[in-house]
Amino acid sequence: EVNKAANFIRNIIEADLESGKHQSVQTRFPPEPNGFLHVGHAKSICINFGFAQDYQGLCNLRFDDTNPAKEEDAYAKAIAADVEWLGFKWSGDIRHAADYFDQLYAYAEELIEKDLAFVDELSADQMREYRGTFEVPGKESPFRNRPIEESLDLFRRMKAGEFDDGAMALRAKIDMQSPNMNMRDPVIYRIKRQHHIRTGDKWCIYPTYDFTHCISDAIEGITHSLCTLEFEDHRPLYDWVLDNISIDCHPQQIEFSRLNLEHTVTSKRKLNQLVLEGHVDGWDDPRMPTISGMRRRGFSPASIRDFVTRTGVTKKVHTVEMSLLENSVREDLGENAPRAMAVLNPLKITLSNYPEDKVEEIAAPNHPQKEEMGKRNIYFSKTLFIDQDDFRESANKKYKRLVLGKAVRLRNAYVITCDEVIKDADGNIIELICTYDENTLGKNPEGYKPKGVIHWVSESHSKPATIRLYDRLFNVPNPGASDDFLSTINPESLQVIDNARVEMSLANAKPEDVFQFEREGYFCADRFEHSAENLVFNRTVTLRDSWAK
Ligand code: ATP
Ligand code: MG
Ligand code: MG
Q: How far apart are CA 138 and CA 179, in angstroms?
A: 9
- Position 477 confidence tier, pLDDT thresholds 50, 70, 90: very high
The single-letter code of the amino acid at 232 is E
Ligand 1 lined by 267 (C-beta under 6 Å): yes
The minimum-distance atom of ligand 1 relative to the CA of 33 is 10
Alpha-carbon dihedral of residues 353, 359, 360, 363, nearest 10 degrees? 140
Q: How far apart are CA 345 and CA 428, in angstroms?
A: 14
Q: In terms of Cα–Cα distance, which of 202, 201, 166 is closest to 187?
A: 166
Distance 229 CA to ligand 3 centre (A): 13
3-state secondary structure 468-517: EEECCCECCCCHHHCCCHHHHECCCCEEEEEEEEEEHHHHHCCCCCEEEE
Instruction: Quickly count: other Cβ atoms within 10 Å of residue 410's Cβ.
Output: 25
Q: How far apart are CA 8 and CA 14, in angstroms?
A: 10
Q: How far apart are CA 379 and CA 364, in angstroms?
A: 10
**Which-ligand-closest: CA of 34?**
1
Averaged pLDDT for residues 429-439: 98
Q: For residue 404, what are the contacts with CB-CB under 8 A and spacing of at least 6?
A: 392, 393, 394, 418, 420, 421
The minimum-distance atom of ligand 1 relative to the CA of 43 is 29
Is the pLDDT score of 390 beyond 80? yes
Domains 268-339+465-541 and 345-455 share a fold: yes
DSSP-derived 3-state class of residue 284: coil
CB 187 within 8 Å of CB 168 = no
Q: Known catalytic residue: 32?
A: yes
DSSP-derived 3-state class of residue 535: strand
- Main-chain dihedrals φ then ψ at residue 181, nearest 5 degrees: -60, -30
Is the pLDDT score of 405 beyond 70? yes
Ligand 1 lined by 268 (C-beta under 6 Å): yes
Mutate to test the pocket of ligand 1, among 62, 64, 210, 228 (most ligand atoms within 8 A of CB): 228
Fold of domain 8-256 = Rossmann fold (3.40.50)
Is the pLDDT score of 2 beyond 70? no
CB 515 within 8 Å of CB 496 = no
Distance 123 CA to ligand 3 centre (A): 25
Q: For residue 142, what are the contacts with CB-CB under 8 A and spacing of at least 6?
A: 122
pLDDT at position 549: 39
By percentage, how much of the chain surpasses pLDDT 90?
94
pLDDT at position 354: 98
pLDDT at position 70: 72
Superfamily of domain 345-455: Ribosomal Protein L25; Chain P (2.40.240.10)
The minimum-distance atom of ligand 1 relative to the CA of 228 is 20
Distance 259 CA to ligand 1 centre (A): 9
Instruction: Quickly count: other Cβ atoms within 10 Å of residue 206's Cβ.
Output: 23
Looking from the CA of 23 toward its CB, the CA atoms found within 13 Å total 1
DSSP-derived 3-state class of residue 93: coil
Q: Give the pLDDT confidence of 97-127 residue by residue, as tens digits.
A: 999 999 999 999 999 999 999 999 999 999 9
Q: What is the DSSP letter of 523?
A: E
pLDDT at position 548: 46
CB 514 within 8 Å of CB 524 = yes
Q: Is the dihedral of CA 103, 104, 107, 109 positive or negative?
A: negative
**CATH number 1.10.287.990 given to 268-339+465-541:** no
Q: What is the DSSP letter of 200?
A: B
Q: Give the pLDDT confidence of 518-529 residue by residue, as tens digits.
A: 999 999 999 999
Pairing of strands 521-525, 514-517: antiparallel
Ligand 1 lined by 289 (C-beta under 6 Å): no
Instruction: Quickly count: other Cβ atoms within 10 Å of residue 530's Cβ.
Output: 22
Distance 40 CA to ligand 1 centre (A): 7
Spell out the domain ranges in the chain. 8-256, 268-339+465-541, 345-455
Distance 32 CA to ligand 2 centre (A): 6
pLDDT at position 1: 57
The CA-CA-CA angle for residues 381, 383, 387, to 5°, reads 115
CB 466 within 8 Å of CB 500 = yes
**Which-ligand-closest: CA of 256?**
1
Q: Which of 32, 71, 220, 520 is catalytic?
A: 32
Ligand 1 lined by 83 (C-beta under 6 Å): no
Higher pLDDT pick, 101 / 71:
101
pLDDT at position 68: 80
Ligand 1 lined by 254 (C-beta under 6 Å): no
Q: In terms of Cα–Cα distance, which of 402, 456, 390, 401 is closest to 434?
A: 402
Q: Known catalytic residue: 268?
A: yes
The minimum-distance atom of ligand 1 relative to the CA of 34 is 10
DSSP-derived 3-state class of residue 316: coil
Q: In terms of Cα–Cα distance, which of 77, 96, 95 is closest to 85?
A: 77
Q: Between the CA of residue 359 and those of 308, 346, 354, 433, what are the distances in Å?
A: 48, 20, 10, 18
Averaged pLDDT for residues 195-220: 96
The single-letter code of the amino acid at 387 is D
The single-letter code of the amino acid at 497 is I
Q: Which of 171, 268, 305, 339 is catalytic?
A: 268
The minimum-distance atom of ligand 1 relative to the CA of 258 is 28
Distance 490 CA to ligand 3 centre (A): 25
Instruction: Quickly count: other Cβ atoms within 10 Å of residue 441's Cβ.
Output: 15
Q: In terms of Cα–Cα distance, which of 66, 59, 62 is closest to 76?
A: 62
- Main-chain dihedrals φ then ψ at residue 485, nearest 5 degrees: -65, -25
**Which-ligand-closest: CA of 76?**
1
CB 465 within 8 Å of CB 506 = yes
Query: What is the average pLDDT value for the chain, to the nearest integer?
Result: 96
pLDDT at position 72: 84
Mutate to test the pocket of ligand 1, among 28, 41, 254, 270 (most ligand atoms within 8 A of CB): 41
The minimum-distance atom of ligand 1 relative to the CA of 271 is 3
pLDDT at position 388: 98
DSSP-derived 3-state class of residue 319: strand
Q: How far apart are CA 204 and CA 196, in angstroms?
A: 10
Give me the helix-helix angle, 301-311 and 322-336, nearest 10°: 140
pLDDT at position 5: 66
Distance 465 CA to ligand 2 centre (A): 42
Q: Give the pLDDT confidence of 122-143 residue by residue, as tens digits.
A: 999 999 999 999 999 999 999 9
- Position 67 confidence tier, pLDDT thresholds 50, 70, 90: confident
Is the pLDDT score of 368 beyond 60? yes
- Position 318 confidence tier, pLDDT thresholds 50, 70, 90: confident
End-to-end CA distance of the chain: 34
**Which-ligand-closest: CA of 228?**
1
DSSP-derived 3-state class of residue 293: helix
DSSP 212-264: HHHHHHHHTT-SEEEEEGGGGGGHHHHHHHHHHSS-S--PEEEEEPPPEETTS
